[in-house]
Amino acid sequence: MLHRSNHRMRLRIACLAVAAAPAWWGICAAGVGPENVLLVVNARSEASLTVANHYQALRGIPPENVLYLDWDPLQTTTDMATFRDKILQPVIEAVLARGSGIDCVAYSADFPWGVRLEEDIRAFVREHPEVLPSRPEQAEGGDEGEARDDPLARWPKPLTPVGSINGLTYLYLPVLAAAPPAYMNLRENQYMRRATPEQDGVPTLGFSSTLCFGPNGEVWGPARDWPQARGVDPQAAESRRRYLLSMVLGVVENEKNRGNTLPEILHYLERSAKADAAFPPGTIYYVRNDDIRSKTRHPAFPEAVEQLERLGVRGEIVFGIMPEEKHDCQGVMMGTAQFQWEESGSEIRPGALCDHLTSLGGVMHRNGGQTPLSEFLRHGAAAASGTVTEPFAIQEKFPFAMLHVHYARGCTAAEAFYQSVYGPYQLLIVGDPLCRPWANVPRVTLDGLPGPIVSGELRLRATAHFPRPGLPDPLGGGETFAFEYYLDGEMRNRGRPGEECLLNTAAWGDGRHELRVVAVEKGLIATRGSLVLDVVFRNHDREIQVQAESPDRLAFGQIIAVEARSPGAMALVLRHNGRVLDRCLGATGRLTADTRRLGRGPVSLQVAALGRGGEDSNVYSAPLRFDIE
């Protein structure tokens, strides 16, 4: 039975989708950018804090989009009940709290990469015994009782009972409903693009968490647009599918894991960020050999190469274990149990997606056996994937060859992966979800901002320029579909090109705010580009002065100290990504933060002086930026 709190959450999610967007918004405002990412950080892990600090700075993730959870870094796997209670439910609550703008959950390091599903299966089957065949007759000499009655003995063998953290996050609705027949279904992902009549005209699609998909992958648009507006039978509501992109930024090598070192993780995230919109000249290599791990995907290779060539991207089918002596690997799809990339003599280029179909590529235990996905990342891939338990070489559990075609059309890494796999519940995807080497990223300019200090009502008008003409309709035409206006991480307005955005600055407290304007490309891929500005509101005669006693660069373990003063303030609060580090009553005070709570790398703090009359009586300081070594 669905737990009451989960049932209420599902109702809230449904209501959120209905109110998420105006009717004209439709599927054309999909696509994923930094403002759509929830960055989830393990507050107990120095590595997780550090990876998150660097990724936030590289990608411009808004401070309001960072969530801190408490997790034992050495607990590398967990059971479903714990995952649901301690990780997924807080994540979904955070998504709901931020409205309809979150489309992707990026887990920083030191969260469990594997989730055990046995008890979920047992509980479901005991409540719904009709879903499985009747118990087999007891074998001669067999044991009485539990072994024969265990639902796992009758569960379909290919549906092995371990899931990945990101795959189960993507399938959050059936996971919260404790419905393993749904989230373990190898055709559950209807965002997966394929050549069917129902998906005609939508070969690649930018993602939005508000989109609903039919049982054959047809796009029903945001929840408010269906079923009546789309001519869909209202009884089809139960077959709707909604998802939430998710990837893991890094699996840290430690006493239990065989992942990547912290410097390796930071290196591949940095080079992937630089690969955006580079339109690289490299080659996508599809590797063939006689191993079943390779042969499973052979039939789709020629079509993928042909589609890549239509995009002006080179694809090549080669024979062997790895591409040999190739210095332009912009993507690699292989099938082998063991390999050492350095023996290939080949070079993985920035932004490349790489994977190898094998049983244990996503099993990150020290004794996992076979080569893990981290081998690709060690050599600079932007993202790589592998299953977290024995998958029985079932193609539906792995990316299809069209992964690289969606990527070459301009999708982000996260969008490309999930458009390419039918049953993602076991697929661990590690790397940069926002990497997009072939994206036609618009450059945004803004009129109506008189200067860095503003007051009263602003009449803002944005324009955007695309560096390339764009792909043929309906994919992306190199024109602006709409603009979104964010203040302090929250979308405040959206409109068509040429329309003004009215922003009454007096509704917010004085001081520093972040204004973000996002251009969304016209077309199915809906590439996004943004302009981020620091602005100071001055309407209510509130002032704040802050002085950092600590240097800009300081060692991990040192204390950051800040003196703050704001006449008339009721209290002073030192914040980092929305979480309170220190506070004091009154208009003056000394605030401190232990760098061990922050992690290493670039961090930005802010002091808020709280007034007595609500938001417009507050005042916010300029950012205090530090580099923790």
Each residue's pLDDT tens digit, 45-98: 999 999 999 999 999 999 999 999 999 999 999 999 999 999 999 999 999 998
Rounded Cα distance between 64 and 41, Å, is 13
Residues of the chain above pLDDT 70, percent: 90
Q: Say what the pLDDT of residue 598 is.
A: 98
DSSP string, 541-589: ----EEEESS-SEE-TTPEEEEEEE-TT-SEEEEEETTEEEEEEESSEE
| pLDDT surpassing 80 at residue 18 | no
Provide the b/e sequence for 376-404 (b: ≥16 CB within 10 Å): bbbbbbbbbbbbbbebebbbbbbbbbbbb
| pLDDT surpassing 90 at residue 489 | yes
| pLDDT surpassing 80 at residue 316 | yes
Give the residue among 114, 125, 121, 126 at the shortest CA–CA distance from 183.
121
For residue 256, what pLDDT band results from cuts at 50, 70 and 90?
confident
Residues of the chain above pLDDT 90, percent: 79
Rounded to the nearest 10 degrees, what angle do helices 46-59 and 262-274 cross at? 10
User: Between 27 and 103, where is the model more confident?
Assistant: 103
DSSP 110: S
Q: Cis peptide before 474, with omega less than 30 degrees from 0?
A: yes
For residue 473, what pLDDT band results from cuts at 50, 70 and 90?
confident
Phi-psi region of 15 (alpha: psi -120 to 50; beta: other; left: phi over 0): alpha
Rounded Cα distance between 470 and 12, Å, is 38
Provide the b/e sequence for 14-43 (b: ≥16 CB within 10 Å): eebbeebbeeebbbbbbbbbbbbbbbbbbe
Report the Cα–Cα distance between both ends of the chain, in Å, rounded: 49
Q: Say what the pLDDT of residue 140 is.
A: 47
Strand partners, 241: 213
Question: Which domains can be identified in the chain, with CATH numbers?
Answer: 4-132+145-245 (no CATH), 443-537 (2.60.40), 545-628 (2.60.40.10)
| pLDDT surpassing 60 at residue 617 | yes
Q: Say what the pLDDT of residue 470 is.
A: 83
Q: Cis peptide before 469, with omega less than 30 degrees from 0?
A: no
Rounded Cα distance between 324 and 322, Å, is 6
DSSP 133: P
Amino acid at 402: M
